[in-house]
Chain A
């Protein structure tokens, strides 16, 4: 009971932090505030998340020994597959998000209740709105006027376990107005597809009306859509001010298109310049997202994009060799400390490689994609057999 109230007190403090971060009255001492919130959350999670506590104990760490957020033990993202990494008692878990991936793999599971889900929504909308300047200048609670959003994912109701679709639903609710669409579908085998006809129709309507829109989907859904446009010899010139947001990787997909090539194709088929293409980095194990934008239209080096999380989520880039933080400009594994992960684990060690750039990072790739050297395998082909 006491713990629940502590968590709800924490949530209140966190909401204030969100609000201040996205409004113009940003705290001057937000580093100190982040520190305090992080250490308090670690204490709460250590007390109420049994699986996480075991992991900390195995490393000989407890809240009394931790004096800086960087020392908070990170749970590997794979632990979300293996364990129920949650502060919520089983009966309170009203929603669970699964990671995408190959069907053979066990997915990660991130449990939520109504309150933690609301916090997730708050985090997602706040940083999205701040990043794209979509809040009223005078009041950061108030969104700007709605615009059309076209999502290449299925209706959130059709994929209740997708954190991505839920995030999109949140954005839609806040900014989508009446004309927004989800044009993805789910096949009976659970594969996400796109209703190409609906996509074409929606884009044609917006182009005809000259209304700038936001086209949002996974990188792979864009590959599908652009393939279709190429086959049908369709080209669009999306109205000026339109944006494209691509998110996520290609886990379990047969065809991988390098990001720079994808962005060129987007320019070619949709008439959207690089400066209007946004990359998103998020995962079901987190409750906040990072965005990366090209600085200019001439900036076609999509590899040079720097991802930034909101002020309530910080990253460290960790040398996989030594386990310590790398220096500026060096490559390592991305570790995220996401305060919005209130009811699971704040510190998450991903398997993604990034280059450290100030408080942000440049995304390099994924650890598990690295092929084994030498003749001993065949990792992929034998994994297929397994």
Chain B
């Protein structure tokens, strides 16, 4: 894949970075931002982003084609999975969604440009303006690209210069997105930098942390603690720790034809990004006492995953991952064989893709929360009600991002409230777990409002 050398991530793999390059890049994008970006109107930025988002959904768009052509080798996701992921993400990137995000997070869409007051502030004689960071450094994690794209979108909306530090081997899609922005508006593109290095490189990162006035970071608790310590309060840190998610299917939704749809939605959540994100479910809990038992649900889910494999195959995995999946399957195979004959083991069943590790469904009568080994390996467990689920998932309390919920309309609000009180930060319909809205409050914090500095004006 040949792309012009706009970013450090475009350099050949053997090119060595050094702290001076990083410092100079920061100074350049900061200067460019001052010249080309800082004073653009919100409306112009929104239009630009919306146009780029629309382009990405066109089959003939150059960067989309490059993604689907080279993505499987570069990211490990099949082109079907990538196409689905791109569509889901860029569908969100509309002018209307961005306007709503500004209004939601800043109270008034004009606030990035001028002092403005909400009706409540107006009554008390106040107004406020939000000042974005000049330079945001993003320390991104893992291989799931959408979270990085989302961070970049927020940075562009704020008209900040951005330095995107990708985890090693994870710059592919952020890089194509950055090129698509450059292609749409080279001056905007000149306010972006992208580089890839192994996290924890103090020589590089200390330069970056000196230059940035805001740092966003995604990673393990230890990674975040290390960054926090090294920033020592100099720049604002917006940190996202690791989270887990699960699905919940309440009584009363699994009847007739509708049941099939719910099962298909669960399959969509397992298949999206090969289940590798914080928002992907490890377990689907199914309440007992409906027309369809949890075990039948699991069987249906296996069928759906098998079908999805035809159009959105799971990406190829290295032998170590395959070994983990195979070993875990064997464990449940033994348990299943044993539980069929004996009552001293909770009822267990296993469905899996023949001749590959592409997908696995484990039904377990034991409702204790289990971490999946991912790559489309899902547990289905039966429970009686939500409070029982909380009990069995206590080990992940406080670490749960998303619950994909399927519940009767009249009960959904009650479920959502209970989940919120227990500590869940996002409840969405099953099937939408890997599709958070642009304006979602990531880990329970506002997206844009966390990045800006407020100035209150008491008139």
A interface residues with partner B (beta carbon < 8 Å): 51, 54-55, 57-58, 75-76, 78-79, 82-83, 319-323, 331-333, 349, 351, 353, 365, 367-370, 372-379, 381-383, 385-386
Contact = CB atoms under 8 A, between A and B. Distances in A.
Given A320-B357, A382-B244, A368 B327 contact: yes
B275 A376 contact: yes
Given A54-B340, A83-B334, A365-B320, A376 B280 contact: yes
B323 A54 contact: no
Contact of A320 (B219, B275, B276, B323): B323
Contact of B326 (A367, A374, A375, A381): A367
A333 B326 contact: yes
B143 interface: yes
A52 B317 CA distance: 30
Contacts of A319: 319, 322
Contacts of B277: 374-376
Given A333-B323, A382-B371, A382-B396, A374 B144 contact: yes
A73 B44 CA distance: 66
Nearest to B336: A58
Interface residues of B, number: 52
Contact of A76 (B317, B320, B333): B333
B220 A378 contact: yes
Nearest to A386: B395
Given A378-B220, A382-B395, A54 B242 contact: no
A321 B357 contact: yes
Chain A interface, DSSP helix/strand/loop, else mixed:
mixed
Nearest to A330: B319
Contacts of B333: 55, 58, 76
B419 to A, nearest CB: 19
B325 interface: yes
A365 B330 CA distance: 18
Most interface-central of A75, A76, A332 (chain B CB within 10 A): A76
Contact of A375 (B142, B336, B396): B142
B244 A373 contact: no
Nearest to A50: B341
Given A320-B357, A368-B324, A54 B331 contact: no
Most interface-central of A51, A332, A374 (chain B CB within 10 A): A374
A322 B330 contact: no
9 closest cross-chain pairs (CB), A and B = A374-B276, A370-B320, A76-B330, A367-B323, A320-B326, A58-B337, A320-B322, A320-B323, A375-B142
A381 B221 contact: yes
B338 interface: yes
A210 to B, nearest CB: 46
A58 B340 contact: yes
B124 interface: no
A319 B278 CA distance: 29
